[in-house]
Amino acid sequence: MTARAGLWLQQGAAPQDAAWDVPPRAEEDRVPLFVVESGCGYRARGWCRQGTSSLQGDAVTGRLEGKVAIVTGGASGMGLGTVERFLAEGARVVVGDLNAAKGEELTAACAARGQADRVRFTRTDVSLEEDVAALVSLAVEAFGGLDVMFNNAGIGGAFGPITELDADAWDETFDIDVRSVFLGIKHAARVMLEAGQGGSIINTASVAGLTSGAGPTAYGAAKSAVASLSQAAALELAPHRIRVNAICPGVIYTPLMHQGDEAAADEWVSALQPWPERGEPAHIAGAALWLASDDSTFVTGQNIVVDGGLLAAGPRVTQFSHMFKDLNKLVGFAYGTTGQKPRFRRL
Ligand SMILES: NC(=O)c1ccc[n+]([C@@H]2O[C@H](COP(=O)([O-])OP(=O)(O)OC[C@H]3O[C@@H](n4cnc5c(N)ncnc54)[C@H](O)[C@@H]3O)[C@@H](O)[C@H]2O)c1
């Protein structure tokens, strides 16, 4: 592993780099982290290389160096953003996606960045057990093991009134959005158990799985199942130090979400989401990085909401229903359906 930090021990005027393996090339590369005076003439100064300190916001820190990760649905959207972030943080990454053309674009872009030896792509249908098993085997064959499994691929699936929904479309939604996650956990955990080194499994659920009204019925039910499955798997695998968590994104601007019309999306998103900036794949990649890294080693069985406050804002009935639209202009008391008239006064 490459050290990206170092230490000077200084006595009097002549600073010397202590024997950390890669001292920075130039003084201006060094970002000071701390200075400690011993009181007996020695001074210790910590540095990190420019752009590598976790104290510097989004800076690259090498937090996944030495780790092998699989990302499903990694050819687009938040999966693609996560692949790029994992590679930047030093991981070796195997991408499984149904879209082979986009997968090839991804590997070409990685090669152009000099990352060809750290990435593999294989066309995968995550709803098929043989494909998921082959994806996991590829990680072991190509990179020698598996530390992180990100079960992220998914679709919107069946939509329409529940009385009209086709049962096959319902099943297909569950195959792609839930069965896939079960298969990913099953095959990743087998390899992780055999290696005995623990691991981190991350699943993509959704705020639509935590509340109704945030997505089609079948989709919401499927994402609820992902959230529940993540917790159940976390319990079973915790004794083996295999963590299982789910990320529940809010509205994230990906092709799946805006379907090519970002301006139309802006209108309704800005009315619903408290946070001013829109959700980007990088926001999910940041959460996935944390869950994949050793910074979250005591975190398991969690459904982590990454949504710019969307869920915290609640169903927003008070904002959008005609019944409540003037509520902030009145103060009073409503007796429901008791027959008693409400009492109120205007503000
Ligand atoms: N974008 C959002 O607002 C949002 C919100 C909550 C949850 N999600 C979830 O996030 C995940 C990623 O979605 P995204 O928005 O990045 O979408 P996206 O369409 O940009 O990317 C999804 C990727 O998954 C792949 N995929 C779909 N079905 C597959 C299958 N059967 N096998 C293998 N790969 C398959 C697609 O080819 C695509 O590359 C999904 O699980 C989605 O349900 C998205």
- Identify the CA nearest to 90 among candidates 111, 128, 119: 119
Structure tokens at 346: 């205007």
Q: Which residue has the tokens 């294989």?
A: 122
Structure tokens at 261: 């019309």
Structure tokens at 65: 């160096």
> Which residue CA neighbors atom 16 of ligand 1 most closely?
77
Structure tokens at 124: 């995968």
The pLDDT, as a whole number, for residue 221 is 97
Active-site residue set: 219
The pLDDT, as a whole number, for residue 316 is 75
Q: Is 326 exposed, middle or buried (0-12, 13-18, 19+ CB in 10 A)?
A: exposed
CA angle at 30 for the pair 28 and 32, rounded to the nearest 5°: 125
The pLDDT, as a whole number, for residue 32 is 42
Q: Which residue has the tokens 């994992």?
A: 86
Helical spans, DSSP H, in the chain = 77-88, 100-112, 129-143, 167-174, 180-195, 217-237, 255-258, 262-272, 281-292, 317-320
Q: Which atom of ligand 1 is least distant from the CA of 279?
A: 3
- Identify the CA nearest to 286 among candidates 68, 61, 127, 115: 61
Cβ–Cβ under 8 Å, residues 252 and 265? no
Structure tokens at 219: 């989709």
- Identify the CA nearest to 88 among candidates 317, 269, 292: 292
Overall size of the chain counted in residues? 347
The pLDDT, as a whole number, for residue 50 is 41
**Taking the mean position of all CA atoms in its chain, how far away is CA 218?**
22
User: Residue 140 Cα, ligand 1 centroid: separation in angstroms?
Assistant: 24
- Identify the CA nearest to 294 among candidates 249, 247, 243: 243
Q: Which atom of ligand 1 is least distant from the CA of 81?
A: 16
Pocket test for ligand 1, best of 85, 256, 278 (most atoms within 8 A of CB): 256
Cβ atoms within 10 Å, residue 222: 29
Spell out which residues line ligand 1, taking CB within 6 angstroms: 72-73, 75-79, 97-99, 102, 124-127, 152-155, 176, 204, 206, 249, 251-252, 254-257
Q: What is the pLDDT along the chain (347 residues), one digit of tens a residue?
A: 333 444 433 333 333 433 333 343 344 444 444 333 344 443 344 444 443 333 334 567 899 999 999 999 999 999 999 999 999 999 999 999 999 999 999 999 999 999 999 999 999 999 999 999 999 999 999 999 999 999 999 999 999 899 999 999 999 999 999 999 999 999 999 999 999 999 999 999 999 999 988 889 999 999 999 999 999 999 999 999 999 999 999 999 999 888 889 998 888 888 889 999 999 999 999 999 999 999 999 999 999 999 999 999 986 766 666 666 666 687 888 888 778 888 888 88
Structure tokens at 122: 């294989």
The pLDDT, as a whole number, for residue 40 is 42
Pocket test for ligand 1, best of 76, 82, 85, 268 (most atoms within 8 A of CB): 76
The pLDDT, as a whole number, for residue 45 is 42
The pLDDT, as a whole number, for residue 231 is 98
The pLDDT, as a whole number, for residue 139 is 98
User: Both ends of the chain: CA-CA distance in Å?
Assistant: 66
User: Residue 39 Cα, ligand 1 centroid: separation in angstroms?
Assistant: 58
Q: Which atom of ligand 1 is least distant from the CA of 175?
A: 31
Structure tokens at 337: 């359906």
Cβ–Cβ under 8 Å, residues 122 and 158? no
User: Residue 276 Cα, ligand 1 centroid: separation in angstroms?
Assistant: 24
User: Residue 98 Cα, ligand 1 centroid: separation in angstroms?
Assistant: 10
Cβ atoms within 10 Å, residue 134: 15
Pocket test for ligand 1, best of 71, 82, 97, 125 (most atoms within 8 A of CB): 97
Distance CA 292, CA 88 (A): 13
DSSP three-state, residue 260: coil
Q: One-letter amino acid identity for 293?
A: S
User: Residue 173 Cα, ligand 1 centroid: separation in angstroms?
Assistant: 12
Backbone φ and ψ of 6, nearest 5°: -155, -175
Q: Which atom of ligand 1 is least distant from the CA of 255?
A: 20
Q: Which atom of ligand 1 is least distant from the CA of 79?
A: 16
The pLDDT, as a whole number, for residue 323 is 64
> Which residue CA neighbors atom 19 of ligand 1 most closely?
256
123: β partners: 97
> Which residue CA neighbors atom 43 of ligand 1 most closely?
154
The pLDDT, as a whole number, for residue 205 is 98
Domains by residue range for the chain, with CATH: 5-49 (no CATH), 68-306 (3.40.50.720), 317-346 (no CATH)
The pLDDT, as a whole number, for residue 336 is 82
